[in-house]
Amino acid sequence: DTEVTQTPKHLVMGMTNKKSLKCEQHMGHRAMYWYKQKAKKPPELMFVYSYEKLSINESVPSRFSPECPNSSLLNLHLHALQPEDSALYLCASSQDASGSNPSYEQYFGPGTRLTVT
Amino acid sequence: AQKVTQAQTEISVVEKEDVTLDCVYETRDTTYYLFWYKQPPSGELVFLIRRNSFDEQNEISGRYSWNFQKSTSSFNFTITASQVVDSAVYFCALRGGSNYKLTFGKGTLLTVNP
């Protein structure tokens, strides 16, 4: 069983809605990630949090707003999304994200399938 | 720049056949890390293995084995006696020595038919 949990599993939202995706990890990891995955494509990195601070934003539009309330939790706030934002959103965690420890593997949650109507 | 190539887009086999998934990578880093992930239809990426560039030993875990060859920049994955539960998309990924980012290949869809 995965030790990275994500809620909800499925989400349908209109373009004017505000919603949030939630992720929790129970492995004591200090780095957490958001990825977006379109059908038949590999995951694309969106954000990286290291020690609860945003360290990487891969030029993601501001309608996606990440938040890391503590080292175990990661949220992704969604507002005014477009239909092309429909995708599987994956959360991941790793022991560390610093450049000095690139060996640490990332563990992924089951994802949230988002549909924007 | 880093690049991972999984030339096989889709593979279909019959149960109990052996199957090899190919992965070729490019990097300028002298230290790097290679990974394989499995993504079943449920969507979750399951970590399978990490291999460090300075460790060329092959690895076997049950029906799974990995062949890392620096000379050909390849990190191939073999499933022996495949089972229906092995049906999934398999991603090979690379992370360079000083790079925070995982570079994924495009994935190989493996279908194991009963």
A59 Cβ partners below 8 Å, 6+ apart? none
Find out whether B72 and B23 touch, Cβ atoms under 8 Å.
Answer: no
Q: What is the per-residue pLDDT across A10-64, written as a single tens digit (0 to 9) for each?
A: 999 999 899 999 999 989 999 999 999 999 999 999 999 989 999 999 999 999 9
Mean pLDDT of A87-101: 82
B85 Cβ partners below 8 Å, 6+ apart? B112
The pLDDT-based confidence of A103 (bands split at 50, 70, 90) is low
**Residue A8: HSE in the Cβ half-sphere, 13 Å Cα cutoff:** 9
Q: Which residue of B has its CA nearest to A91?
A: B44
Q: Which residue of A has its CA nearest to B44?
A: A110
Q: What is the per-residue pLDDT across B65-98, written as a single tens digit (0 to 9) for each?
A: 999 999 999 999 999 999 999 999 999 999 986 6
Q: Which of residues 3-42 of A touch B (CB under 8 A)?
A: 40-42
SS3 per residue for B23-68:
CEEECCCCCEEEEEEEECCCCCCEEEEEEECCCCCCEEECCEEEEE
B-chain CB neighbours of A1 within 8 Å are: none
Query: In whole angstroms, what is the distance from residue B21 CA to residue A47 CA?
Result: 30
Please report the pLDDT score of residue A59 as a whole number: 93
Inter-chain CB proximity B100 and A111 less than 8 Å: no
Please report the pLDDT score of residue B24 as a whole number: 98
A106 secondary structure, DSSP code:
P
Please report the pLDDT score of residue A96 as a whole number: 76
Inter-chain CB proximity B35 and A109 less than 8 Å: no
H-only helix segments in A34-106: none
Tell me the two tokens of residue B59. Answer: 């690895």
A72 min Cα distance to partner chain B (Å): 19
Q: What is the per-residue pLDDT across B19-33, written as a single tens digit (0 to 9) for each?
A: 999 999 999 988 899
Averaged pLDDT of chain B = 94
